[in-house]
């Protein structure tokens, strides 16, 4: 028997909205809460979007991450702006590099590993948006994500399904650092299980304190470069 839903409002009058001129829509409530929190602090839509994006890197790690790209189409009330914060290829990625490493005539690049990773653009994109269009200090925008990473969150059903599927892909599990970060108990977290990201919390604090510089030229960048060199990357 199919359930019968009545979508008519049970209220005789429209309820008062919490925010009369602002809406935050995401696929995870903690990310939406981050955006609303920033708006309540006096931030604008760009501030809220950056804070929301930072939280999404934590609560949906199967499809988001600090090492990702970002794109934005923004209307400032007078002009349309576009941001392409997709990652650039490493300087060493020349045709000769791939030919020497994988042989000539390779039609497609590697799917996984360091030779499939471009320089992440998301953090730089957040900083650029904040500096040009935001109202609040950049560090304030990272605060909700830092709290989520430290406190942890209950893993929802859909995210858990994707997490469990990734845990079965040996090519992922064998990547250095993957299991330690995403499978700390030797398995994917269960539905409703509390999951914390202490490493991401430390990274977000460094990003907040340096306006993203730590990610591209500081301690995080140095750690990434060392890991790439140790694992055969460019």
Report domain extents, the chain.
29-152+196-230, 155-195
Give residue 23's pLDDT.
86
How far is it, in rounded angstroms, from Cα 122 to Cα 106? 29
Which stretches of the chain drop beneath a pLDDT of 70?
Answer: 1-20, 105-107, 109
CA distances (Å), origin 79, targets 40, 43, 75, 82, 149: 26, 20, 6, 10, 36
Give residue 139's pLDDT.
98
For residue range 157-201, what is the model confidence (pLDDT) as tens digits? 999 999 999 999 998 899 888 999 999 999 999 999 999 999 999
Biggest CA pair distance of the chain: 72
Give residue 21's pLDDT.
76
Question: pTM of the full predicted structure?
Answer: 0.87
**Beta carbons within 10 angstroms of residue 215's beta carbon:** 24
Residue 16 C-beta-side C-alpha neighbours within 13 Å: 1
């Amino acid at each position: 028997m199919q359930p019968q839903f009545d979508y008519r409002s049970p209220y005789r009058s429209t309820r008062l909205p919490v925010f009369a001129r602002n809406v935050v829509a995401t696929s995870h409530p903690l990310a939406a809460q981050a955006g609303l929190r920033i708006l309540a602090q006096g931030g604008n839509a760009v501030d809220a979007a950056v804070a929301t994006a930072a939280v999404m890197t934590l609560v949906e790690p199967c499809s988001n991450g600090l090492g990702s790209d970002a794109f934005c189409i923004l209307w400032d009330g007078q002009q349309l702006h576009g941001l392409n914060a997709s990652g650039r290829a490493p300087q060493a990625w020349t045709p000769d590099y791939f030919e020497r490493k994988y042989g000539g005539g390779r039609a497609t690049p590697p799917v996984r590993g360091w030779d499939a990773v471009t320089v992440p653009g998301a953090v730089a994109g957040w900083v650029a948006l904040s500096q040009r269009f935001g109202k609040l200090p950049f560090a304030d925008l990272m605060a909700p994500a830092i709290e989520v990473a430290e406190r942890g969150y209950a893993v929802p059903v859909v995210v858990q399904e994707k997490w469990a599927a990734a845990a079965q892909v040996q090519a992922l599990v064998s990547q250095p650092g993957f299991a330690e970060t995403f499978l700390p108990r030797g398995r994917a977290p269960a539905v409703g299980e509390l999951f914390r990201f202490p490493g991401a919390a430390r990274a977000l604090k460094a990003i907040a304190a340096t306006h993203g510089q730590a990610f591209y030229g500081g301690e995080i960048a140095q750690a990434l470069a060392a890991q790439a060199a140790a694992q055969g990357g460019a």
